[in-house]
Structure 1
Amino acid sequence: MMRLKTRGQALPKAFFIIVLLTAIALQAAFADDEGIRVMARASGTGRAADQVAFAAALARSSKLDAILIAPAGADIVEAASKASCALAVDVTSEVLPGGDARSAWRILDPLTGEVLAEGVVEGREPTARDLAEFWWIAVADAAEAALPKVRKTLVRIEGHPGTVITGQTGKDRGGLAEGGLVIPDSGFLEIPLRVPGTYPWRATSKGAYPERGYFGALEQGVSLAIPRRPIRPWSLEAGLYMGQFPDFWAIRSLGDDRWFLRIGLTQFLAGIYLVDEEYGTETPSVLLSLPLVQPGLGFGGYLLPRDAYVRPYWNLGAFARLLFIKDLSPRFDPVAPMGTMAALGGEWAISGRAAVFFEFGPAFYPFCDGFLMAASRGSSDSGPMWTLRADTWFLELPVMRLGARFSL
């Protein structure tokens, strides 16, 4: 009789194990990737601590598409979030001194850790059949009732492998992770998001410009395709030196558009000369020409990424001063043959390929005749310019430029 009783207790349990494994296999083969997943864990003492029987009971719900057993020793909320589960169900059971059983359960939101529902099941210690038929009914009903509170979808994000996607998140936000998601070699990943919801995102990829936008997760099956614009390494710059003389530069982007080299020239052959309206009858022409050209090189870097509203930058450079005098070959300016400059500036994008800028900083002329340089600049009343000089050097500030840049 004892053998028959033992066998009678084991057969239902084995039957339900087979049913559970079959259900899991069928779900793995046919389940929709956007179904409702639940992570379950049963712990404690007594027959109610059987995780397999607990998972099998939850699997009978028509609203729960997949039941995953929590890994041993893992935090169930973290594990459920990583497995894209809609709910985490945690049960702790114990056998009371009188022989009854008590199962305390909690239903948790994997994205926030919030307790959505909790309760206790008490009664005579359940048999395997009791566990399958009625012991966990209240827990399954509570899990189904909690689903509207955590309505979400598995969002498919497609993009170039290695793209890092960030967003804004928080305890009650449930959005894209601030820490960043990386698209694998497969070119896509899936993450759970609240439905409905609108989420800001930003994507960075090596060799491409940053992208950003807002994603509306309104229904099941939505996807987000991350665009990718390769960095254009060359751009042209046209500016006005001190708001008067046009200059032209070619710029080569380096290091994913964090650094740049520039080569070009500032010319004084043709410019504009704005004077006071009370200058009198001797008002000079609005056009101004000086026989001077300053070819130069520069190196600089941006302090913020390309998608910043204002992109501050710095720039260092050196230039030669060449005179173009009629009937003479081009030659270095004997007063100041060369100069250096430093500038801080800001760049404002007005389209995907165009931006305007403004920069200012000092210009320093070593190996020059400081007295003649000061004389050539005129008196201090000639404009908003400050100078320092010595016998062999000359410093002026601020030197200002404004203009536009165009990516090729």
Structure 2
Amino acid sequence: MKSPFRLPRFFAGEGKAVSASAVVEAKAVAGAGAGFAVISGEGAAHWSGRNYAALARAGFMKNPVAHRAVRMIAEAAAAVPWLAYEGRAEVTDHAALSLLARPNGRQGGADFLEALYGHLLLSGNAYVEPLIVGGRVRELHLLRPDRVAIVEGRDGWPVAYDYRAGGVTRRLPAEVEGGGQGDGRLAVLHIKLFHPLDDHSGLSPLVAAGAALDLSNAASGWNKALLDNSARPSGALVYQPKDGGNLSPNQYDRLKEQLEEGYAGAVNAGRPLILEGGLDWKAMALSPKDMDFMEAKNGAARDIALGLGVPPMLLGIPGDNTYANYQEAHRAFYRLTVLPMIFRIAGSFSAWLGGVFGEKLRLEPDLDRIAGLATEREALWARVGAASFLSDDEKREAVGY
């Protein structure tokens, strides 16, 4: 972005515009009444990283909107109980349900699934390592995505995963040859979200909302710094000597050094200047009201919520309330965000554990236990119950039994 300010020809030289990334430096020319102005323009935008660690810090650990949205999805999805089927028959005491209810000695089922959904939302990838003891799957452990490196074979497909932790790297197979029902062989489960430019890794929703995330964090930091410095806006420092003299080189260098060290950067935003004789401060930046930081923050918050699939109404964000009421937004949240995520995970676990517990294993969420969808279930039961042309067995099948 070019600076909107141009200096006169005798300042800039040949009438060239000064770059916005640098501070304009101009010394006064000879002649009585001459002076100089130091004008601070806007620099290039700085964006945070888009890897797992950067998104976790800038998003989940620093931004309240992203933190709450990720927690809402992960906690809502982890709270939904699962059902196990072998073919069309439901099995209430299936071993796969027991494993998912207590995946390891450190985590319960809800804790395990919440962390899994969190990994998926923050990195676009989730890795599950099975612990095989005596030919049986005894435990399931999550691998932190930023510690996993995919090892490609000659054909370009993953053949293993390198997991680095505690200064040690372990290589885990991506596939197990000869694995079948009852032999206890199981490879690492890799669940990923769609990525249009990567064959092996998923894309985090926060990557798409990265610009809004940086804008929201920058607005918060700028507002905080501005308030810390008496809420004074930026501007230009103008020197107009009354006696016809100019600043000496030492005075000019000292003033420049003070400006760079004491008043540059977001940390010093709005910090008041101490002016000497002949120096005058001209406010040139837009006021906080003109820049409307609050509306910019709300717009960024709406974009973050949109990227994660959470209705802004549920996060208390004003504006864009397209839902008639809170209950409607809550149902949309489950239907459009939570349930697709659960069905994706359930399908992956069904195919993954099917080789150990039986090829006909099918895991599904128990929709009757979701309080947010109770109204829809009641309407479905009423419609099916009123259908006199259906038998009782057909009605049970129609509602998922």
Taking structure 2 as the reference length, the TM-score comes to 0.18
Q: Which structure features the higher share of helix residues?
A: 2
Of structures 1 and 2, the one scoring higher in RCO (CA 8 A, sep 6+) is 2
User: Which structure is larger by alpha-carbon Rg, 1 or 2?
Assistant: 1
Q: Which structure features the higher share of strand residues?
A: 1
